[in-house]
Amino acid sequence: MLYSRPVVPASFKSVALVEEKMNIVVLRENAPGEARVALMPDSVKKIVALKVSVVVESGAGLGAARTDDDYREAGAEISCDRNALLAAADVLVTVNRPSDEVFAALKKVAVVLGFLRPLDEPQALEPALAGGLTTFAMELVPRITRAQAMDALSSMATVAGYKAVILGASQIPRMFPLLMTAAGTVPPARVLILGAGVAGLQAIATARRLGAVVEGYDVRAAAGEQVRSLGATFLEVDLGGLKTEDAGGYAVELSEEAMQRGRDLIAEHAKTADVVITTAQVPGRKAPLLVTEEAVNGMKRGSVIIDLAGATGGNCVLSKADETVERNGVTILAPTNLPATVPVHASQLYSRNVTAFLGLLIKDGELNIDMNDDVVGPSCVTHQGQVVNQRVAAALSTVA
Ligand code: NAD
Cα distance between residue 269 and residue 285, in whole Å:
26
Q: Of the residues 153, 220, 237, 244, which should be mutated to test ligand 1's pocket, given the most ligand atoms within 8 Å of the CB?
A: 220
C-alpha 113 – ligand 1 centre gap (Å): 24
State residue 2's pLDDT score. Answer: 32
Known catalytic membership, residue 151 = yes
Q: Are 393 and 4 in contact (CB under 8 A)?
A: yes
Give 276: exposed, middle or buried? Use CB within 10 Å, 0-12, 13-18, 19+.
Answer: buried
Cα distance between residue 290 and residue 199, in whole Å:
16
Considering 70, 99, 220, 250, which one is annotated as catalytic? 250
The residue whose CA is least distant from atom 23 of ligand 1 is 197
Tens-binned pLDDT, residue by residue, of the chain (400 aa): 233 333 344 444 443 433 479 999 999 999 999 999 999 999 999 999 999 999 999 999 999 999 999 999 999 999 999 999 999 999 999 999 999 999 999 999 999 999 999 998 999 999 999 999 999 999 999 999 999 999 999 999 999 999 999 999 999 999 999 999 999 999 999 999 999 999 999 999 999 999 999 999 999 888 999 999 999 999 988 777 778 878 777 788 888 888 999 999 999 999 999 999 999 988 778 899 999 999 999 999 999 999 999 999 999 999 999 999 999 999 999 999 999 999 999 999 999 999 999 999 999 999 999 999 999 999 999 998 899 999 999 988 876 6
State residue 400's pLDDT score. Answer: 60
The residue whose CA is least distant from atom 32 of ligand 1 is 249
Q: How many CB atoms lie within 10 A of CB 368?
A: 15
State residue 326's pLDDT score. Answer: 98
- Looking at the CA of residue 153, tell me the nearest atom of ligand 1: 26
Query: Is the Cβ atom of 151 under 6 angstroms away from ligand 1?
Result: yes
Beta-carbon contacts of residue 173 (< 8 Å; ≥ 6 apart): 302
Q: Give the HSE-up count for residue 116: Cα atoms under 13 Å, Cβ half-sphere.
A: 31
User: Nearest Cα to 164, choosing from 371, 378, 342?
Assistant: 342
State residue 293's pLDDT score. Answer: 98
C-alpha 223 – ligand 1 centre gap (Å): 9
State residue 20's pLDDT score. Answer: 79
Cα distance between residue 215 and residue 273, in whole Å:
9
pTM of the complete model? 0.92
Query: Is the Cβ atom of 195 under 6 angstroms away from ligand 1?
Result: yes
State residue 143's pLDDT score. Answer: 92
User: Nearest Cα to 309, choosing from 290, 334, 274?
Assistant: 334
State residue 1's pLDDT score. Answer: 28
Give 398: exposed, middle or buried? Use CB within 10 Å, 0-12, 13-18, 19+.
Answer: exposed
Query: Is the Cβ atom of 198 under 6 angstroms away from ligand 1?
Result: yes
